Amino acid sequence: MQRDINSAIDLQKLNFMIDQAEKKIIPIRNKITCFLGLTGAGKSTLMCFLLKLKPIVEIDDYGQIYIDFIQEEDHKIEIGHSSASCTELPNFRIINGEYYWDCPGLFDNKSIAQEILNLYCIKKIFESPSCFKIVIVVEYQNASVARGRDLANTLRQIVEMFPDQNNLFNCLSIIVTKCDKRNMTSEKFVRILDNLSRENNEFESAIPLLQMLSRAPQKIVIFMTPENAEDLNEELRNKIHACICTASFTKMPILNSLSDRAKLVIDNLLTLYENDIKSEMTKFSKKIFIKFRSETDMNALHQGKAALDDFLSIDPQRFTIQEFESGIINLSNYFTGSEALSDGFRSLTNKINFYNSYRSARSPPINLLSWINPIRYVLE
């Protein structure tokens, strides 16, 4: 099975996307507000709407209403008009001085690569801010069809990520999109939630949250399907902002989980990173060798040799990825002074560190000693 999954996944492309995510997700220390929800729920549409971009409302060939926005080509938030996932990397924007992240569709298990990428993005987005708010975006249909199965799925997975349901309740608001029931209100929607939680045991893990929500219609706003662009007006925008304002910024731990299939791919991703480290180390060793041969200043030579001995004297049993990283940065300051080289190593060790805790139970542990060997050979 492992071969099947891996052959279907382009590891290089996944690696490229993770690098893109690393560049795109700037750590925000302040408060952030984050849109979470299934693919196609309308998170990117909501972001564009709150950004006051000029909307276009049209009817597609199947008679479905869709919303788009006039945007600059090179600074675009992609909106999906098919059932396939659209946002691959999160979008960051500042709205009224506040920091917002529009995340890729949660729980997008159609693609293992997207699942692995999402894990990285979500963790990076949530780990740096001082506190955050969560805006859950759900389609009205998810609550009204199949006894709310998709809504149950969304809530179950959000509760798994944020198991402290009291804190979760405090920091969240819910935006119900694509609602064509003109008389729908948040009070009615809360009653729908209440009934669903009684009728469908798929909501079981989120019952404490649902009970709190049943007394808090102010935390829910209905984003009616527009009939024309005029329906996407200031009044709706204000209602959405007011709803998001009912949530309080909170800091709580986030737990991520991965499917077993994704873990098998992680094993291979780690092997790819380890191979990259080894080949970078081989190149670095050559540079050290050349420097030794060409150095005429005996004092500098001794200092360099002492730094190398220091690096290689770390107890191999207790050598950690962090020690490797700081050792390499120290050495590269001595021998190359190249920041690009340090950054390259740092990026690889960050990714290895991150994914190391998500590998499958059966995969062999990373072999730090094999990373250092090329440098050892320089001294021999």
Ligand X SMILES: Nc1nc2c(ncn2[C@@H]2O[C@H](COP(=O)(O)OP(=O)(O)OP(=O)(O)O)[C@@H](O)[C@H]2O)c(=O)[nH]1
Footprint on this chain of ligand X (rule: CB under 6 A): 37, 39-46, 65-67, 79-81, 85-87, 104-105, 177-178, 223, 225
Q: Residues 6 or more apart from 225 whose CB is under 8 A from it? A: 65, 178, 179, 180
**Degrees (nearest 5) of the Cα angle 325, 329, 334?**
150
Nearer Cβ to Mg ion, position 43 or 133? 43
178 binds, among Mg ion, ligand X, none (CB under 5 to 8 A by kind): ligand X
Task: Give which of ligand X, Mg ion, none residue 252 binds (C-beta under 5 to 8 Å, depending on kind).
Answer: none
| Residue 225's binding partner out of ligand X, Mg ion, none, with CB under 5 to 8 Å set by partner kind | ligand X
Quickly count: other Cβ atoms within 10 Å of residue 129's Cβ: 20
* Helix residue ranges, H only, the chain: 2-8, 11-24, 43-50, 112-127, 140-144, 149-161, 165-171, 186-199, 207-213, 234-245, 260-294, 298-312, 321-335, 339-356, 368-379
Q: Residue 263 binds which entry of Mg ion, ligand X, none, with Cβ cut-offs from 5 to 8 Å by kind?
A: none
Tokens of 121: 């993005």
Q: Is 44 in the site for Mg ion (CB under 5 A)?
A: yes
Residue (37 or 374) nearer to ligand X, CB: 37
Asked if 118 touches Mg ion (CB under 5 A), the answer is: no
Binding of Mg ion at residue 39 (CB under 5 A)?
Answer: no
**Amino acid found at 202:** E
CB of 220 to Mg ion, least distance (A): 21
Comparison of 86 and 179: residue with beta carbon closer to Mg ion: 86
Query: Which of ligand X, Mg ion, none is residue 111 near (CB under 5 to 8 Å by kind)?
Result: none
Q: Which residues contact 333 (CB under 8 A, 6 or more apart)?
A: 342
In the list ligand X, Mg ion, none, the entry touching 39 (Cβ below 5 to 8 angstroms by class) is: ligand X
CA dist., res. 299 & res. 296, Å (int): 9
Distance of alpha carbon 282 from alpha carbon 328, whole angstroms: 13
Placement of tokens 């050892």 in the chain: 376
Looking at the Cβ atoms of 136 and 196, the one nearer to ligand X is 136
Please identify which residue in 87, 142, 332, 349 interacts with Mg ion, judged by CB under 5 A: 87
Residues that bind Mg ion (CB under 5 A): 43-44, 86-87
